[in-house]
Amino acid sequence: MAAGNSGRRRTTTRKKTTASRKTTVKRKEENAFIRDEVTVLILFAVSVLLLISNFGVGGAAGGFVSRVMFGIFGIFAYILPIVLFLVTAFSISNRDNTIAAVKAAAMIIAGMLLCAVFELVFGEKDGAGTVTAFYTYASQHKSGGGALGGLICKVLTGAFGVVGAWIIVAALFIICAVVITERSFIGGVKTGSRKVYDSAKEDARRYRIQAEERREARRKAMEERAALEEEEREGEEAEALEQPVKKPREPKRPRMDHKVSGIALEETALKEAAAKESLESVEAEQAEQEAAVKKEVYTDEMREITLPGMDMEADAASDPEDPEDGQESFRDMEGPNLKDLDEMFRIPIHRERKSAEPEEHETESESVIQMESPEFVREETPAQTTRAVTPIRNVEPISAVHTPEPAHQVQTTSQTALPVSAPETPMAAKPEYVYPPLRLLNQVKHTENKDTDRILHETALHLQQILRDFGVGVTVTDVSQGPAVTRYELQPDQGVKVNKIVSLADDIKLNLAVTDVRIEAPIPGKAAVGIEVPNAENSIVSFRELVSSQEFKNHKSKLAFAVGKDIAGKIMVTDIAKMPHLLIAGATGSGKSVCINTLIMSLLYKSSPDEVKLIMIDPKVVELSTYNGIPHLLIPVVTDPKKAAGALNWAVAEMTHRYKLFADYNVRNLAGYNEKIKNIEHIEDDTKPQKLPQIVIVVDELADLMMVAPGEVEDAICRLAQLARAAGIHLIIATQRPSVNVITGLIKANMPSRIAFAVSSGVDSRTILDMNGAEKLLGKGDMLFYPYGYPKPVRVQGAFVSDEEVGAVVEFLKEHNSGSGYSEAVEEHINTVQTAESEGAAGTQNDGPERDALFAEAGRFIIEKDKASIGMLQRWFKVGFNRAARIMDQLAEAGVVGEEAGTKPREIQMTLEEFERYLDEYV
């Protein structure tokens, strides 16, 4: 009970204590509040008293205090009461706030600095310079900085001189101002200068528009005057009849027809015109002045205007389909873009140009006429190379070129073979090759890219801004839109590292919200970095468009290959003979097979079977088998990987044979040999040597071959690649596994031209191209084309040819060209090797007397070398591992070598005589 009471008492006491503590705190707060209120009110009264005392209405006491204040603070005493009140009130209301304390201190220091300023400006110039003297002067005259200002000035001027004192006081004052206001001084300066710059820019722009208007008015006046003069002259001439035959005056060209690049040129042209017409010489002077002004104001902008490759004419007519796409539409724009308006329309845009479409009506006897042309044709050439073509531009070139012509007409245009209309020769009993007509190919509707010039311009500026946000100053100088990607060319500002732009690839991707960007830094031959951004929609490059282009038709090589279109939309046609071997690699579904199809189809459209023969190796079975039966094929499409090695070996043998022939005829290459054969064409002799065709060996999937016979395949490829160029044998090898096991160092070293389609990693890209980049490709024919002799790969959108088109062409060729041109000799050769291989294999299985064809030779070789090694057999006899191992097993069974003993080499158990006896007896 007692315990209960004491407990209750304790609780009551605790409650009381807490309550009393709360009351104390509350009371304390109330006291502080009252104290603060009283302090502020007293302070206010004192401040007012001090203020009025300064003006002589404070009575005797006020007057005394005022004199003291002036003595100490000088002129500052006038505002001291206000400052005192504000600082104290500020400090009281922000008690315990450190920042407020710092600000109050800054205010006090600023006040002291003001005293110093007053002393510097109004102080007694020839005073004694003592503190008392400062005090007395300020107190009596109510001027100067008082004792405080005088003291500060004395110290500062003594140490740094008057100018130094001013600088220090100003600097400290600014610091105080920054502390008090928390506003950036530098920011303020920046904003101010930006405003000045913007207004100058705006003025300059207005000035330019006015100048243009004036120029336009002047031009019109000049034209009118010229027309008037012309009329007058004509009238006079008609009257006088002095010149019966009048030379027609060249019609005046509109100004836009003059190719103009840059302000300077334009101005000169104007000046000349003005001088010639001896009109308004004063205005000409003005024009010069304008140019000078512009030069000053637009120094940096002119850099953009006079960039090489820029075409003001094209720029002016940048988007003919969208009249709103001019400056007017941009007036509606808001935000930062508005001020970049001028800049925006100064970036030139290059677009893919549509080539002339072929006509539909074609005869089956039509053919492609070969013309002389540069090796890698990339420029569009006018359709005026044959007589049959009418001089009018944009006339359908295909129908013109393909229309059968009289032989004499064609001969005047080209030296090369003309399959359709070539004059009959005794050898012409052989049926002529009927070229496939263009109508077998699909006419793909050329979809106009949806990215208007305006969007491209916006993206260009956006890109510029993104990089600037990351502290990388660049200027977009050019935009080229290709079928699949658009390349923005950037010129980095002075001192910007190219690597910095490359490292921002992911940020650019993120900010532009695109799947991938590839950065080419720098673009070969240009002082610019290229950023390639995928188009919203990629347009297909049709094979028909390429085959019917002048670039392809005029290409002189029989091995012309229509690759696709580059980033500027220009048609790329290359010469396989110059490559001379091509490696194609890319992930599955990236477009390799389509590329191989376009290559083969290019050859079918360009050359006859007499000129070009094909060997196709397709371990995947489904890709190239369609071509079986075409006259160009030397043997049916090889689908058995084991046979493939045989086919490659045949090519090696053929190469050796050709070299021997060249030596006999004393020529250096196939072209020289065929030239010699041409000279004996007229001799009627069935046994005379024939022209040799160029041979293209196409392998679709090297990996499958390398799995079956790596040694043999690699060896054959390398031997061919090293020597076959002069013999007119070219290799096209594709693989979807660009690993070092498949594309070995040896193969890579011997295949100088490469095409990389999209791959999954940078490692794969490096395996193909020796550099990154292919991992950024978009797939579906987007490739990096890197032929021999190019400094860097070129991005190309490959042409597309469908299986149906291929099927139609193959059917046509089978139907119109009598039978396949399969060579029995070649087939026999390949089959013999094949049989030898299988017999070798069978020999092991049956353990019978039949052994590998190389058994005897290998045995002798091993005994002579006194070393039994499978690797040695592989190297010496150029066979694969399996076959060499089989031979070694057979030799072991025959007792020539011992059994395998771990890592140790096998023992040689027979002498050469013993082995010869064994051969006589058992083999």
Ligand X SMILES: Nc1ncnc2c1ncn2[C@@H]1O[C@H](COP(=O)(O)OP(=O)(O)OP(=O)(O)O)[C@@H](O)[C@H]1O
Nearer to ligand X, 483 or 522 (CB): 483
Shortest Cβ 593–ligand X spacing (Å): 3
Residue closer to ligand X (CB basis): 453 or 700: 700
Q: Which residue, 370 or 626, is less far from ligand X as judged by CB?
A: 626
> CB of residue 839 vs ligand X: minimum separation in angstroms?
34
* Residue 139, both tokens: 């107190």
Closest CB to ligand X among residues 550, 735: 735
3-state secondary structure of 774: helix
Q: Which is nearer to ligand X, 111 or 798 (CB)?
A: 798
Whether the bond between 580 and the residue before it is cis, its omega within 30 degrees of 0, is yes
Query: Pick from 150, 155, 152: which is nearest to 137 by CA?
Result: 150
- Least Å distance, CB 586 to ligand X, is 5
DSSP of 586-655: --TTSSHHHHHHHHHHHHHHH--TTTEEEEEE-TTSTTTGGGTT-TTBSSSPB--HHHHHHHHHHHHHHH
Rounded to an integer, what distance in angstroms lies between the CA atom of residue 626 and that of residue 427? Answer: 31
CB 764 to ligand X: min, Å: 13
As a whole number of angstroms, the distance between CA 405 and CA 414 comes to 13
Q: How far is the CB of 571 from ligand X (least distance, A)?
A: 14
Q: Minimum Å distance from CB 618 to ligand X?
A: 11
Q: Are strands 782-786 and 485-492 parallel, antiparallel or unpaired?
A: unpaired
Query: Which ranges in 728-793 belong to alpha helices (H)?
Result: 745-750, 762-769
Measured from the Cβ of residue 26, the count of other Cβ atoms closer than 10 Å reads 10
Output the CA torsion sign for 93, 99, 101, 105: negative
Q: 136: which 2 tokens? A: 């007395």
Distance in Å, CB of 780 to ligand X, minimum: 4
Element (H, E) at 489: strand 485-492
Minimal distance, residue 545 CB to ligand X, in Å = 12
Strands 729-735, 582-585: pairing kind: parallel
Residue 5 structure tokens:
């009471």
Q: Is 591 annotated as a binding residue?
A: yes
Tell me which amino acid residue 690 is.
Q
**Which residues lie near ligand X (CB under 6 A)?**
540, 586, 588-594, 736, 780-781, 798-800
Question: What gap in Å lies between CA 835 and CA 400, rounded to an integer?
Answer: 53
CB-nearer residue toward ligand X: 652 or 778? 778
Q: Is 586 annotated as a binding residue?
A: yes
* Nearer of residues 485 and 594 to ligand X, judged by Cβ: 594
Give the residue with the Cβ less far from ligand X, 480 or 590: 590
Closer by beta carbon to ligand X, 736 or else 874: 736
- For residues 451 and 445, give the distance between their C-alpha atoms in angstroms, rounded to a whole number: 17
Residue 551 CB, nearest approach to ligand X (Å) = 17
Give the strand pairing for 794-800 and 560-566: antiparallel
DSSP 8-state class, residue 795 = E
Least distance between ligand X and beta carbon 354 (Å)? 17
State yes or no: 780 annotated in a binding site.
no
SS3 per-residue string spanning 153-195: HHHHHHHHHHHHHHHHHHHHHHHHHHHHHCCCHHHHHHHHHHH
DSSP state of 530: E
What's the min distance (Å) between Cβ of 464 and ligand X?
31
Q: Is there a contact between 312 and 295 (Cβ–Cβ < 8 Å)?
A: no
> Do 481 and 351 touch, CB atoms closer than 8 A?
yes
C-beta closer to ligand X: residue 418 or 484: 484
Q: Return the C-alpha torsion angle 63, 69, 72, 75, nearest 10.
A: -100
Residue 724, classified by CB atoms within 10 Å of its CB into exposed (0-12), middle (13-18) or buried (19+), is buried
CB of 753 to ligand X, least distance (A): 18
Cβ proximity to ligand X, 551 vs 618, nearer residue? 618
Known binder of ligand: residue 549? Answer: no
Q: Given the structure tokens 């100003």, which residue do they identify?
A: 170
Task: Flag whether 588 is marked binding.
Answer: yes
- Measured over the CA atoms of residue 550, residue 555, residue 559 and residue 563, the dihedral's sign is negative
User: Which is nearer to ligand X, 115 or 596 (by Cβ)?
Assistant: 596
Q: Which two tokens stand for residue 268?
A: 């000169």
Annotated binding residue 539:
no
Q: For residue 336, which amino acid is it?
A: P
Between 508 and 573, name the residue whose CB sits nearer to ligand X.
Answer: 573
- Closer residue to ligand X in complex, CB, 702/713: 702
Minimum distance of ligand X from residue 646's CB (angstroms): 24
Q: Would you say 172 and 102 are in contact if contact means Cβ atoms under 8 Å apart?
A: no
* Dihedral of alpha carbons 248, 254, 256, 260, sign: positive
Which two three-digit tokens encode residue 382? 């006018």
Smallest distance from ligand X to CB 735, Å: 9
Give the residue nearest to ligand X (CB).
781
Is 608 marked within a binding site?
no
Give the long-range contacts of residues 250-255, CB within 8 A, separation 24 or more: 252/223, 252/226, 255/219
Residue type, 113: L
Q: Is 761 annotated as a binding residue?
A: no
Cα 229 to Cα 243: distance, rounded to the nearest angstrom:
17
Annotated binding residues: 586-593
Annotated binding residues for ATP: 586-593
